Amino acid sequence: MNSFDYSLFQFINGLAHQNKFFDGLIVFLAGYFQYILLVLAIYLLLAKIKDWRRQFYILSVFLLSAIISRGLMTEIIRFFYNRPRPFLALHFTSLIKQELTGSFPSGHMTFYFVLALIIFLINRITDIIK
């Protein structure tokens, strides 16, 4: 773990156990924010496009992209570059139960990147069509 990673970890981990509300909020967001964001993004995409065929096409492209990026590409990178999670490398107990897989690349972030990219492209295409 390099010095920047360790400094950032120390800052964020130093906030843990300082406030029960903040700890609970972080645990809640770690467990459920991804689902809230996904539902909101799908709603916004479907609200912007009225034709059900285009809605189906966009959702299919998004799901295929998410499966390829999160399910395949992330695991291939983790196979060749195994970076341990901070709680394993620094021997501490985290607030939430963690997977024992590698920490890079983050599965959540690859999924969010695909979601953001699809939303960006859909907005760009619908603005060009108008």
In the three-class reduction of DSSP (H, G, I as helix; E, B as strand; rest coil), residue 37 is classed as helix
In a structure prediction context, what are the per-residue pLDDT tens digits for the chain, which is 130 residues long? 568 877 887 787 778 788 888 888 888 887 788 888 888 877 877 777 777 888 788 788 888 887 887 777 777 777 777 777 666 666 666 666 666 666 666 777 777 888 788 778 777 766 665 5
- How much is the pLDDT for 39? 86
- Map out the domains of the chain as residue ranges: 33-129
Distance of CA 21 to the CA centre of its chain: 23
